[in-house]
Structure 1
Amino acid sequence: MTGARPSTVPALVFATSSGEILDYDGLSMAGSAAGRISAPAPNDLIELPPGSELFALPARLPIGIEPESGEPALLDTNPYQPGESIQAVAAFMAPAHTAILSAAYRTDDAGAPLLPLFAYTAVGWADGKFWAAGFRSDSDCRQDADQFNQRLLNQRTRKQLNCHKNNRLIQHLGKCCLTYGCPAARNYFLGRWEAPLPCSPSCNAACVGCISLQPSGCCPSTQDRIVFVPTEKEIAEVAVPHLEVAPRPVVSFGQGCEGEPLLQAGLIENSIRLIRSRTDRGTINLNTNGSLPDAVERLAQAGLDSIRISLNSAQPEHHRLYYRPKGFDLAAVCRSITAMKRHGRHVSLNYFILPGCTDDPAECAALSELIAEYRPDFIQLRNLNMDPEYYLRIIGHRGDVPPLGIRNWLGQLQGKFPDLKFGYYNPPLR
């Protein structure tokens, strides 16, 4: 699949009223960059990665490109059954892939529901295959679809659950694995790579795109949030064996099934000390909103190896409008970066990618200033998982200036900051 390109321009795809996905070669595939419609460049297309999903988008009509004029055109009915209603289609790409263009569509403002909390990448059809507007942003195979044997996974998970009936954290991870298919939980039960250590039922933000807690009547969260605080012993019982035997081992506080782990900083600090009293192998990581720099300072002193700070924007107002923080701001987040760097620790930014917004010139300038001042080590190119139009409304995105393009944006950052690394996952450090 690596390096493959379609032999012809991919056709538009759409979904019928029954959910069947069809292609229509009367229009070619289009993509969107925060509402700016264009045809993807050939080198911006990859075969839809294994493990990806296709979504029909309710009350949204697909937009394609007229082959002769090159102009965007709306498809408002099934070309094979005129008068039949249709829906736009988007791809939710497998992990380790980053979008270059979002799906192109027009929304029915009167009755369109919010889209669920996934990313919506442009997709088309050519050569008997689906093609997505994106690229592989990390070569690590840790969450690739072909790495999971469900039968083996079921056996090992149930064995662990039976052996640790009194460990609430392991029981919780079993649900994450078997019910939600959490890749980190699956890898924990398979004894490899990165394992999760959720610990915080509460949060100090109300992120618009929170995947574990949404208000009633909004789009549903994708998984249940943990409802208890595990003990240091329960945490160590997960972390220590994993760090001792797993290849390229990482254990991470801060997961999609919890709130903000820094609210349990005391527990995490004691857990790190307990873990390190038993093993010095592997990487102890924290995924966080970076809201409490004093707590981060304590964790760095305790032996936290790395931190991944989630960031939707390097512009303070856009950050505030998305995170809806309680008692912190972007300046506090930046002080958390400083605290880790002061102790020589590794800092990643979990930077949410939305084509047309991430690569907006003003946003790129703000991110460049942040990188130049605070010197993070790594940027994780994670797709923004929420309704794109809703997100743009929330942050008040104007889009007066054409975006740079995701590839150009990435190339500019790589040129300005040659020591900065890019990828998708938390890197193992030892």
Structure 2
Amino acid sequence: MQIKKFPESNLMQNPCLVVSDCNGNIFEIPDVGMAAFTGVKNVVPDETDMIPLPEGSMFFTLPGRAATGYDNSSKKFITITEYANKRVFPVAAFMPPGYVRTLHSAYTELKGAPPLPLYCYTATGWKNDRFYVAGNRIDRRIRHKIADTDFSRIDMQAAALLRRHKGNRLVEHLVNNCVFKYRCPNACNLALVRWECPVPVSKACNAACIGCISSQNKSSGFPSSQHRLDFIPGVEEILDYVVPHIKNAPDPIISFGQGCEGEPLLQAELIEEAIRKIRMSSRRGILNINTNAGIPDALEALCKAGLDSMRVSLNSAQDNFYQAYYRPRNYSFEDVKKSILIAKRYNVWVSLNYLVFPGFTDNPSEIAAFLKLAKDAKIDMIQMRNLNIDPQLLCRKMFFDKLSGNPVGIVKWIEIIKKEIPNVITGYFNPTITTIKASHVYLPKVKLR
């Protein structure tokens, strides 16, 4: 396997630097080029790393930081804190689901800079009267594109769901917390009776991820993105809304393990009972678990009960970097790999929910380790998800500066993945029956209902 270094850029094509003023107004600086951060160093982005800003993206102003741009005259990176007698700040984009970031926003932290909240900070520029971002579309399905849906319709159907399941704590959590407060795409789709149905079950976790979105200690310096489930539902509360969904929704997926909970395998007995009873009511759809896969025996019990697919989250295929980010309690990376092999033995579809971080994911040592894991375990799918966290904070905590070798770039990394393991599906969303049927290579492996 040959790996090229990060490509040199065509400076003539470089977008302009984009900044924000104190009032949140975003504008370009015409005589300064855009810069981006590879996770190792600042670069002028290559055209292959850039795409027009996707619809549904958001912009963030980065406080306590100075914008980094590229001076085309001196051919040097420069730091900008003022422009046209105004204090200015760096700007980053947050792309919608289905896109992976190829480069981080470039900036310099100032003294006392607060940690950034748990989002993805994508390099952004301005060119030919439009915004450009460092991104790559890896899934063209629109399962999480709820911005185009009339929210009054979502709210009306969510309220109706609440009335139909009055007294069901889990439905109350999903509607009041996930739909109304956070606009969670899966919870909204539950209200709209389509696709994936979320089933959070665990209020505890056996990991303490640096970037956990549902639980953070005050010492982290940034809040969790959402409120974690604070009760354990009963099996009847699960069946009450899940069975109607799997019977009536198009391409239904019932997913245990959500961002608003801990580790679902800690409630394996509850999930096992739910799986068996769901299948007594309907053979439609996919029964899935999103998990860290740290409890092999619990996972095997679910496979025996009738689990169809498993999505395993990991930031790295290297034990030391996995341990450093997940900070597991009472399990190891070897347990994760054991669970994957168990699932494959039971013909369960296995996806790796790979948390992509430019500068690390595309480092030669990580590429080699990931390819070995994917080939050895014969995984079915790679779901590429952006690792949402302050990029410079993560680089410090994970000691990425000690990595040997240069990153190849995320675009090149995707090319390598597709070339080295061509039969593995790449995408973003959990697979439906339709997705699995379309992947003819895997059809014999999975129990299709």
Normalising by structure 1, we get a TM-score of 0.95
Counting only pairs closer than 5 Å after superposition, residues 27-426 of structure 1 correspond to structure 2 as 27-77=32-82, 79-81=83-85, 84-108=86-110, 110-175=111-176, 176-217=178-219, 218-397=221-400, 398-426=402-430
Q: Tell me by how many angstroms 1:404 deviates.
A: 0.9
Identity %: 42
Rounded to whole Å, the distance in 1 between the matches of 2:423 and 2:75 is: 40
> In the alignment, residue 139 of structure 2 is paired with which amino acid?
D
**1:389-420 deviations in Å (ceiling 9; x for gaps):** 11122222124421011111111111111111
Rounded to whole Å, the distance in 2 between the matches of 1:159 and 1:132 is: 39
Rounded to whole Å, the distance in 1 between the matches of 2:351 and 2:148 is: 25
The question of whether the paired residues in 1 share the 8 Å contact of 2:48 and 2:411 is answered with no
**1:304-336 deviations in Å (ceiling 9; x for gaps):** 100001001111011111111101111100011
Rounded to whole Å, the distance in 2 between the matches of 1:348 and 1:382 is: 12
The question of whether the paired residues in 1 share the 8 Å contact of 2:105 and 2:124 is answered with yes
* Secondary structure of 1:111's aligned partner: coil
Normalising by structure 2, we get a TM-score of 0.91
Rounded to whole Å, the distance in 2 between the matches of 1:221 and 1:45 is: 30
Q: Which is worse superposed, 376-385 or 126-135?
A: 126-135
Aligned residues: 420
Q: Tell me by how many angstroms 1:209 deviates.
A: 0.4
Rounded to whole Å, the distance in 2 between the matches of 1:165 and 1:120 is: 40
The question of whether the paired residues in 1 share the 8 Å contact of 2:255 and 2:290 is answered with yes
Q: 4+ residue runs of structure 1 moved beyond 3 angstroms? A: 68-71
**1:82-135 deviations in Å (ceiling 9; x for gaps):** xx4321111111111101111011111x20111100111101112332211101
Q: CA RMSD in A?
A: 1.4
**1:165-207 deviations in Å (ceiling 9; x for gaps):** 1111111110210111101000000010111000000001111
Q: Which is worse superposed, 352-361 or 66-75?
A: 66-75
* Secondary structure of 2:218's aligned partner: coil
Unaligned runs of 5+ residues in structure 2 are 1-11, 434-447
The question of whether the paired residues in 2 share the 8 Å contact of 1:141 and 1:147 is answered with no
Q: Which is worse superposed, 292-301 or 409-418?
A: 409-418
Unaligned runs of 5+ residues in structure 1 are 1-6
Partner of 1:3: none
**1:37-82 deviations in Å (ceiling 9; x for gaps):** 11222232222112211111111111122224543222232x211x
Rounded to whole Å, the distance in 2 between the matches of 1:295 and 1:399 is: 35
The question of whether the paired residues in 2 share the 8 Å contact of 1:286 and 1:306 is answered with yes
> In the alignment, residue 144 of structure 2 is paired with which amino acid?
Q
